[in-house]
Structure formats: C-alpha cells, structure tokens
C-alpha cells in the first residue's frame, strides 16, 4: 500500500533519489522488502526492490537472462547464511579432516568470488555481500580452539578471505553480518 502511495504523482519528494535494489538470499526474507522500503523512504530514497526466489541466488546470478539482470539493479544484496554454505557440515563439522576443511574454505571463497564476478560481468550494480555469522556452538565445546583448523576457525577464515578479496574493489562491499549478530 505504501509503495502505491509513494508512486502517485506529486507525492515523491523533489530531492528523492530513486534506486533499484535486488535482494538475493539463501533463506526466507519475508518482511525484509517492506522494512527496507520504509527505511529508504525515511531517508529520501525511493526504492524499487526485486526479491529473488528462495535459495535461488546462484541461479539468478549465473543466468544472464534471469529476473535479476532483467530488473537492472543499482545495488545487488547477496545474503547467504552460514547453514547454507556449510551444508551437512553445519551439524557434523568434524566428519572431515583438517585438510578437507581447508580445501572447503578455499572452494567456498572461490565460489563467492565467481558469483560476484558474474554479477560484475552482467550488471553495473554495486554489490553488498554479507559475511557469515560464526556459529555459537561447536560440537567440541571448549576444545574447539585446540584444533589445528577448527570449525569456528574455518568460518572466520572465509570472512577474512572475503574482506581481503574485496578490500580494494570499489564495486563490492562486505556487510559484517557476524558483528551485527553479536
């Protein structure tokens, strides 16, 4: 309803900036579009918001004919949660060796960098990546920090890798979602 009201002639602020925002997520983000819309309007930004399908972020990014690229966003927000990126390893992270975990970290970093590069190839949108929240638990409890390359450390390594990979990229920004969760 608010979105319809904003679009009526004469109701838009003269100095308001229009922006197209695409939200891509690995989980349900019901309500986020509406909250983002209201917050943007409060600061004089009139948003048009595209929400990708549930856990369809990869498909949207990889398909140059997807709704994401037809929408033509100014900003693409990519929000992948820790459970999605860890998959089966979330509940049983020590079923793999330290070496396998290190390979997994490098693979996930490479996957995220590739997805980001694909957006840059197909769009002029700025990209906002969320880093990953560090799980509050480890199956090893206080012994977690005694591991050569532990479960928690692997997520910290991904977050550091994201920060380092995009530190000098003026088109990609990292939202410290882990700190937000803290």
Residuewise pLDDT in 10s, the chain (182 residues) = 555 555 545 545 556 799 999 999 999 999 999 999 999 999 999 999 999 999 999 999 999 999 999 999 999 999 999 989 888 777 777 788 889 989 999 999 999 999 999 999 999 999 999 999 988 877 777 877 887 878 888 999 999 999 999 999 999 999 999 999 88
Contacts 24+ apart (CB under 8 A), 154-162: 154/93, 154/101, 154/102, 154/104, 154/105, 155/82, 155/86, 157/105, 158/85, 158/105, 158/108, 158/109, 158/131, 158/132, 159/131, 159/132, 159/134, 161/105, 161/109, 162/109, 162/112, 162/129, 162/131
**pTM for this predicted structure:** 0.87
């Amino acid at each position: 309803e608010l979105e319809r009201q904003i679009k009526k002639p004469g109701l838009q602020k003269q100095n308001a900036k229009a922006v197209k925002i695409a939200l891509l997520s690995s989980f349900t983000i019901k309500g986020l579009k509406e909250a983002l819309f209201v917050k943007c309007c409060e600061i004089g930004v009139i948003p048009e918001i595209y929400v990708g399908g549930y856990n369809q972020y990869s498909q949207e990014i990889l398909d140059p004919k997807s709704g994401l690229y037809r929408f033509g966003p100014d900003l693409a927000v990519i929000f992948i949660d820790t459970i999605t990126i860890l998959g089966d390893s979330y509940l049983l992270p020590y079923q793999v060796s330290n070496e396998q975990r290190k390979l997994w970290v490098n693979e996930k970093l490479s996957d995220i960098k590739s997805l980001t590069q694909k957006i840059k190839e197909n769009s002029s949108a700025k990209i906002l990546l969320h880093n990953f929240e560090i799980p509050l638990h480890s199956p090893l409890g206080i012994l977690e920090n005694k591991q050569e390359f532990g479960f928690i450390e692997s997520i910290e390594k991904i977050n550091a890798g994201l920060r380092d990979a995009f530190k000098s990229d003026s088109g990609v920004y990292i939202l410290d979602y882990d700190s937000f969760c803290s």
